[in-house]
Amino acid sequence: MPITFDTPVQYLTGVGEARAAGLAKLGITTVGQLLYHFPRGYEFRGNVQAVATVPSGETASFILVAATDVSNTMLRRGMVISRLRAFDESGSCEITFFNQPYIKDSIHKGCEYRFYGKLIVEGSKRLLNSPVVEPIEENKPLPNLVAVYPLTAGITQKLLAKLVKNALDQLIAQPGAIPELLPDKVRAENNLCAISYALTAIHFPPDFDTLSIAKRRLIFEEFYRFALGAAGRGEDTRRAPMLADTDTAPLIAPLPYTLTGAQTRAIADIAADLSSGKPMRRLVSGDVGSGKTIVAAAAAYMTAKNGFQCALMAPTEILATQHYNDLAPLFEKLGIGCRLLTGSIKAAERKKLLPALADGSVGVIIGTHALITEDVRFHALGLVICDEQHRFGVGQREALLAKASDDPSVTCHQLTMSATPIPRTLAMFLYGDLAMSPLDEMPPGRQRVETFVVNEGYRERLNAFIEKQCAVGNQVYVVCPSVEEIEGGEVTMEDIRLFDFGYDAEELMRPQSKPKAAVTWASTLAEALPGRRVGCVHGKMKAADKDAVMRSFAAGELDVLVSTTVIEVGVNVPNATLMIVENAERFGLSQLHQLRGRVGRGAAKSCCVLVSDAKSGSTARQRLDVMRTTYDGFKIAEFDLSERGPGDFIPRGEADGDVRQHGELRFRLANLCEDMKLLESAVNAAKEAAKQP
């Protein structure tokens, strides 16, 4: 029976019950989901090197002749080591495989193979350990680019590639079996390839140009899906609380500072929304330190003084606690009950809090996703504030909004805060159903964080600078682009994106600086800075463990915090005066600007050091120079948008499950966006499609 896009994946040859369960962990339960499980990167095996010329530790491809047959040696505990020697015109090397006894039947003396792996040089010996082996056969060219997929236990790269090829072969043999979302007219107007070509090329690209064509089509499709969903939402006709008293003077007047014009305008926008009787859906976007918290406080105050309740949901417990510590004293002076609800509060405290929330005694509740648990009930929920809304799933936000009323014709107001300055043009597309209030002015007295760009040659001086900061009681952030070590030689999606924006193939194929890994680099710094307390935090840690490390840093129990970009949204640490970003060329400018905003929050002078070996005059170096000379987040965002596309501003979802969850697109290729014109074209095409009967 022919397979379809909706055929369960277990009906593919080679997929049994155990493999189907493993694939399900990757969000793959149907053939269609299998084909939309895109590679996370590509191994570039076409750059063949002479074995005698490659330095130790570099991953490359080698065309070698087997000088000996494979010999298997049995060791204790069932370990099998397989060895052979192979050579090319430049020299020879020893090749070793561990626990792969079957390799003996795959490699034969005198035959030629392509080996791909990391070469190790030990004295006069050259070694390859467990490389990928591909036989050289006449009229069967080997691929230059080989997909590298996200995996889970029991699912290998080889298996995924085999399943994808099997599925594609069967579907392409059936005209129309692969659903084509884009109308012919849309594809023709935007010079986009067919879906069958795109899916084949994204999984099995013969070259970079073909990969670029496929990627462009699939990115357009993602935006098109997103825009179709936005166009289909229509106007919200539900009722929301109409607030009669929107005077915020009692809250604002006692503040020890004057609001900026942008803050004043944002509060006025919110007041108009809250008094209209229509549901407010507003986005407040601005730099770290631009004053979003007091704007949110004003919205909560207006809501509470009119007899309704406000719930502020933050993505982490530590951020929720910070908001509570900042806002509770303000509200208590005004006679408004403000409480904190997180997953870690004690059962006895929770038992007292829930009735107070249900009877309206608590006017403002600040918390994490603990707010959406079933036993949390409100007396009259009038406003939901989401801090960093892209950190929450749609289901979580909807669950909180649903607590406003049992009547489907009634809802509450929504206010979203984002610490990423979003250009108006992009916000119009991504948040078309949200009104926007940009906080594009910084409060007076806010210190500028001086920014420097240095290369690896400054490493000793950098370590000395860290030591100097710690010696006077200050703290330091060090941000790395990856969690753990990545093998060299792998061309990542980020590299492909760079290729699409002006890097030629030769530039891409040159050895890249190895990305610093947070886990390894934390150990390295601990050795280089004896006596200093070095911590590490990254996205693969459990939420409780991440919070514990961040709390330790905020409490001054750590001198140096090595992390990935998980600290983009984090706790306020006024004592942190130095931000170091390793491999800075691998980050978007908006990301770098966010990271820079983590320091400069106290009285001491603060610095941000961007470490990169990007050559002077290169595109990467020019981008970093923008960071060095520009401090306006909105200007940086506009530059980043024009250079890189909108990837850094788009919520990144996990690469699992359906493409759509409750109407929200979970972008798989978000960091590969072509440019604003592609996004605009997709949105315009979707709007036209939505008009059709």
The more confident residue out of 638 and 401 is: 401
| Per-residue model confidence (pLDDT) at position 663 | 31
- Highest mean predicted confidence (pLDDT) among 60-64, 155-159, 649-653, 665-669: 60-64
- Which pLDDT belongs to residue 677? 67
pTM (predicted TM-score): 0.59
pLDDT at 335 over 60: yes
| pLDDT value of residue 138 | 87
Residue pair 340/366 in contact (Cβ under 8 Å)? The answer is yes
Who wins on pLDDT, 225 or 583?
583
Contact of 462 with 609, CB cutoff 8 Å: yes
Q: Which of 215, 184, 183 is nearest to 197 (CA)?
A: 215
**Whole-number Å distance between alpha carbons of 310 and 364:** 5
| 403, pLDDT greater than 90 | no
Average pLDDT of the residues in 110-117: 95
Strand boundaries in 28-76, DSSP class E: 41-44, 59-66, 71-74
Of residues 468 and 565, more confidence is placed in: 468
Q: Give the pLDDT of residue 638.
A: 73
Determine the 3-state secondary structure of 7 from DSSP: coil
What pLDDT score was predicted for residue 500? 38
Whether 309 shows a pLDDT value over 50: the answer reads: yes
Say what the pLDDT of residue 496 is: 44
Q: Do domains 249-439 and 450-630 have the same CATH topology?
A: yes
384/398 Cα distance (integer angstroms): 10
Encode pLDDT of 593-638 as tens digits: 888 888 888 778 899 999 998 887 787 888 898 888 887 777 777 7
Q: What is the structure's pLDDT at 659?
A: 27
**CATH class entry, domain 450-630:** alpha beta
Q: Which CATH number fits domain 1-41+150-178: 1.10.150, 3.40.50, 1.10.600, 1.10.10?
A: 1.10.150
Tell me what pLDDT residue 65 has: 95
pLDDT in tens, 482-498: 876 554 445 544 444 43
H helix intervals, 85-183? 157-172
Lowest mean pLDDT among 99-108, 219-228, 249-258: 219-228
pLDDT at position 551 over 90? no
Mean local confidence (pLDDT), 344-373: 92
> What letter represents residue 479's amino acid?
V
- pLDDT for residue 190 is more than 60: yes
Is the pLDDT confidence value at 504 over 50? no
Which helix H or strand E contains 455, and what residues bound it? Answer: none
Most confident range, picked from 86-90, 208-212, 312-316, 686-690: 86-90
Query: How confident is the model over 472-489, as a mean pLDDT?
Result: 78
Q: How is 555-570 classified by DSSP, letter by letter?
A: TT--SEEEE-GGGGS-
Could you report the per-residue pLDDT of 217-237, keeping only the tens digit for each? 998 988 888 777 665 555 667
Query: Using 50, 70 and 90 to split pLDDT, how confident is the model at 517?
Result: confident
DSSP state for residue 30 in the 8-state scheme: B
> Which residues lie closer than 8 Å to 251 by C-beta, 6 or more apart?
297, 298, 301, 330, 334
For the chain, the average pLDDT equals 84
Q: Does the structure show a pLDDT above 80 at 66?
A: yes
**Does the pLDDT value for residue 503 go beyond 70?**
no
CB 379 within 8 A of CB 357: yes
User: Distance of alpha carbon 254 from its chain centroid, rounded?
Assistant: 40
pLDDT of residue 442: 77
Average pLDDT over residues 403-412: 84
Q: How big is the CA angle at 227 (ends 213 and 493), to the nearest 5 degrees?
A: 35
Q: Are strands 660-661 and 664-665 parallel, antiparallel or unpaired?
A: antiparallel
Helices 619-629 and 633-644: angle between axes, nearest 10 degrees? 170
What residue segments make up the domains of the chain, in order of their start?
A: 1-41+150-178, 46-142, 180-234+679-693, 249-439, 450-630
Structure-model confidence comparison of residues 337 and 678, the more confident one: 337
What is the rounded CA–CA span in Å between residue 128 and residue 489? Answer: 14
Q: How many Å apart are CA 567 and CA 580, to the nearest integer? A: 13
Rounded to whole angstroms, the maximal C-alpha distance in the chain is 88
Position 383 scores a pLDDT of 95
Q: If you average pLDDT over residues 533-560, what whole number do you get?
A: 88
Question: Cβ–Cβ contacts within 10 Å for residue 540, how many?
Answer: 12
Candidate from 13-27, 317-331, 472-486, 498-512 with smallest mean pLDDT: 498-512
Average pLDDT over residues 386-410: 74
pLDDT above 80: residue 19: yes
450 vs 571, more confident: 450
Range 46-142 classified under CATH 2.40.50.140: yes
Lowest mean pLDDT among 279-288, 462-471, 485-494, 675-684: 485-494
pLDDT at 97 over 60: yes
List strands edge to edge, sheet with 607-611.
Answer: 450-454, 607-611, 576-581, 475-479, 560-563, 534-537
Q: Is the pLDDT of residue 446 over 80?
A: no
* 303 neighbors 243 (Cβ within 8 angstroms): yes
Mean pLDDT of 207-219: 91
Assign 658 a pLDDT band (cuts: 50, 70, 90): very low
Min mean pLDDT across 143-157, 213-227, 375-389, 666-680 is at: 666-680
Burial readout 171-196 (b: 16 or more C-beta within 10 A, e: otherwise): beeeeeebeeebeeebbeebebbebb
Q: How confident is the model at residue 189 (pLDDT cuts 50, 70, 90)?
A: very high
Give the pLDDT of residue 231.
58
533 vs 686, more confident: 533
Distance between CA atoms of 24 and 104, rounded to whole angstroms?
Answer: 34
- Which is the CATH superfamily of the domain at 249-439? P-loop containing nucleotide triphosphate hydrolases (3.40.50.300)
In this prediction, residue 523 carries a pLDDT of 93
